[in-house]
Amino acid sequence: MPRADLLVNLVRAGTQGDQRTFRSTVEAMAAEERAKRHGQLADRLEENLRHQPAQGAKTPEVVRSFDGGHGGLLYEIEPRRGLESIFLDDSVLAPVRELVEEQQRVDLLRSYGIEPRHRVLLAGPPGNGKTTLAEGIAFELMAPLFVVRYEAVVGSFLGETSGRLKRLFDFARTHHCVLFFDEFDTLGKERGDTHETGEIKRVVSSLLLQIDSLPSHVVVVTATNHAELLDRAVWRRFQLRLDLPAPTFAQRVAWFDRFEGEVGMPLGMSTKTLAGRFPAQNFSDLEQFCLDVRRRYVLALPGADIKRIVADRLTQWKGRVGPETAAKD
């Protein structure tokens, strides 16, 4: 059964003719029922939102279709990694854990008239855990992770992108979910940029309005490698603004400590030496290096020599030139 406060809001909105509150309340009810796996009831609530009101005024479209209900604008990732598995500084993980707690104890907060935080902006170089952190939030909340497909959202005709964004947000409102915008600067560009068209500026305005109107059961996480490109009005929309830097030496040592524990044998050199010799530019490099070692170890069984494999992989990785390394040469 829906929460008492939602039922009270629904009755109040109906008696006062407040279509906006009525709609947002039904969306919240549908999201709650879907989270309880009451899919039929959630679908029926959404279906009734499609109907025109008695006065004939047009209401926002709720998209339901064979592709999951979002018109192909999103794809879903099944969260498999929790926050405990993510190597990030406590200055990042601590506020994220607080957000998760607020979402999990939302009934207590609402009994005091407070809504949980639900808008997060992540910035930093590529490969340092922005997507993984969004997955970790979804995992902790036991909610689906919906990732925006820009190739489906961005259209070539006037007004097309804004219309698709509206459909996307209408879908998200009826789900308890994590909505993830990777490379957010694709849509949230600075409107003062003289090189951008009027259409892009209208898209940014539409995007900001949609983010403002999202209910708190939709946790929206945005990520950018180029924070300097974001419109200034974007920043204040987000209650958490976190920077995800490259791994420190201590974090690289901790990463290899954990890896050595997982393989259950010495790596042939101390983890501090390995952390100092490995040219990691980001956490993704660390993860790929360890996967590389595992892969070669499995293929060399039964006579695999982990020490030799680590030394060989280290030599090979030193020969790789990334953009940061190339800039130094």
CA distance 223 to 134: 9
User: Which residue has better confidence, 105 or 183?
Assistant: 105
- Is 80 exceeded by the pLDDT of residue 329? no
Confidence of residue 187 (pLDDT cuts 50, 70, 90): confident
pTM more than 0.85: no
Q: Which amino acid, residue 281?
A: Q
User: Which residue has better confidence, 120 or 235?
Assistant: 120
Say which range, 11-25, 55-69, 256-270, has the weakest mean pLDDT: 55-69
Name the DSSP letter for residue 63. -
Query: Which residues, at least 6 apart from 182, have a Cβ–Cβ distance to it below 8 Å?
Result: 130, 131, 147, 148, 223
In the three-class reduction of DSSP (H, G, I as helix; E, B as strand; rest coil), residue 305 is classed as coil
CA distance 23 to 111: 22
Residue 206's pLDDT is 86
Residue 203's pLDDT is 83
* Paired strand residues for 224: 123
Residue 154's pLDDT is 81
- Is 80 exceeded by the pLDDT of residue 285? yes
Closest alpha carbon to 297 in 328, 262, 271: 262
Residue 274's pLDDT is 95
- Is 80 exceeded by the pLDDT of residue 12? no
User: Which residue has better confidence, 104 or 69?
Assistant: 104
Residue 143's pLDDT is 95
CA distance 207 to 165: 7
Residue 122's pLDDT is 96
Q: Residues 45-50: what's their mean pLDDT?
A: 75
Q: Residues 212-225: what's their mean pLDDT?
A: 95
Residue 188's pLDDT is 77
Average of per-residue pLDDT values in the chain: 84
Residue 234's pLDDT is 87
C-beta contacts of 102-105 below 8 A and 24+ residues apart: 103/141, 103/216, 103/219, 104/140, 104/141
DSSP assignments along 68-135, one per residue: SSSTTSEEEE-----GGG----HHHHHHHHHHHHHHHTHHHHHHTT-PPP-EEEEESSTTSSHHHHHH
DSSP assignments along 189-202, one per residue: B-TT-TTS-HHHHH
In the three-class reduction of DSSP (H, G, I as helix; E, B as strand; rest coil), residue 181 is classed as strand
In the three-class reduction of DSSP (H, G, I as helix; E, B as strand; rest coil), residue 147 is classed as strand
What is the percent of the chain where pLDDT is above 70? 84
What is the percent of the chain where pLDDT is above 90? 52
Name the DSSP letter for residue 264. T
- Is 90 exceeded by the pLDDT of residue 219? yes
Say which range, 13-17, 34-38, 240-244, has the weakest mean pLDDT: 13-17
Closest alpha carbon to 70 in 168, 211, 207, 151: 168
Confidence of residue 69 (pLDDT cuts 50, 70, 90): low
Say which range, 35-44, 127-136, 223-232, 260-269, has the weakest mean pLDDT: 35-44
CA distance 98 to 13: 32
Confidence of residue 311 (pLDDT cuts 50, 70, 90): very high
CA distance 223 to 244: 10
